[in-house]
Amino acid sequence: MFALPLAENAVLRPLEPWQAPEYLAHIERGRAHIDRWIGWAALATDLESARAVLQRYADRQAADSARLFGIWLDGTLVGGVMFVQWDTKTGTCEIGVWTEPAAEGRGLIGTAVRLLIDYAFTTRGMHRIEWHNRPDNVRSRAVAQRLGFTLEGVMRESYLHRGVHHDGEVWSMLTHEWKPAGGPAGAPEAAGA
């Protein structure tokens, strides 16, 4: 299994069905925090449902329609990044993220997302990456801004979460807009991609 460094004590690795017990423990630690913004935590409530979530992404990866990666900090799973959607015909994908509080404020999400962006554009030749968030999720919005995504608009009350319709922002980046640190648009990033 590969592991890409995100920081001295943090790595990005595939998150697979055999890791369901570790994944469930992570979700339990971060459930209230994660569920505040997205329904991701609600998908895994016991070992069987945790394994099903991971298996669904493994199946989608095999079909080249999504991918799921975990972030480990000091050997503990603390969050993850994913290609929520991956469409090679249109050249469009969507990146999503989640963390428990232990992973916040360390730059791990931004570094992991840079690796996914570089993979999508440089390795796989995708044309467009989308980022979706609620406007009140300031941390998620800040990641999109720092990485150079462009806000395309707000979809009013388009996201139903916990019985409430929330607005959703749609951000995007096109392949020619990707400017990794230390290089021109489209160049491999110095961070190890």
pTM of the full structure: 0.89
- Looking only at the bridges linking them, the beta strands covering 10-14 and 4-7 are antiparallel
Contact criterion met (CB below 8 Å) for 109 and 97: yes
Contact criterion met (CB below 8 Å) for 99 and 78: yes
pLDDT for residue 182 is more than 80 = no
Q: What percent of the chain has pLDDT over 90?
A: 81
The mean pLDDT of 145-173, rounded to a whole number, is 93
- State the pLDDT at residue 37: 87
The mean pLDDT of 99-116, rounded to a whole number, is 94
pLDDT for residue 187 is more than 90 = no
Mean pLDDT rounded to a whole number for the chain:
91
- State the pLDDT at residue 85: 96
Sign, CA dihedral 126-128-129-132, equals negative
The mean pLDDT of 177-191, rounded to a whole number, is 52
Measure the CA–CA gap between 50 and 53, rounded to whole angstroms.
5
- State the pLDDT at residue 46: 96
Q: Where is average pLDDT lowest: 16-25, 151-160, 181-190?
A: 181-190
- What φ, ψ does residue 33 adopt, rounded to 5°? -70, -45
The mean pLDDT of 36-53, rounded to a whole number, is 91
- State the pLDDT at residue 42: 86
Relative orientation angle of helices 47-62 and 20-35, to the nearest 10 degrees = 100
Taking the C-alpha atoms of 3, 150, 127 and 116 in order, what is their torsion angle to the nearest 10 degrees?
0
Instruction: Classify residue 107 by its DSSP letter.
Output: S
- State the pLDDT at residue 181: 58
pLDDT for residue 96 is more than 90 = yes
Q: Which helix (H) or strand (E) holds 78?
A: strand 76-87
Measure the CA–CA gap between 129 and 172, rounded to whole angstroms.
6
Burial zone of 128 (CB within 10 Å; 0-12 exposed, 13-18 middle, 19+ buried): middle
pLDDT for residue 188 is more than 70 = no
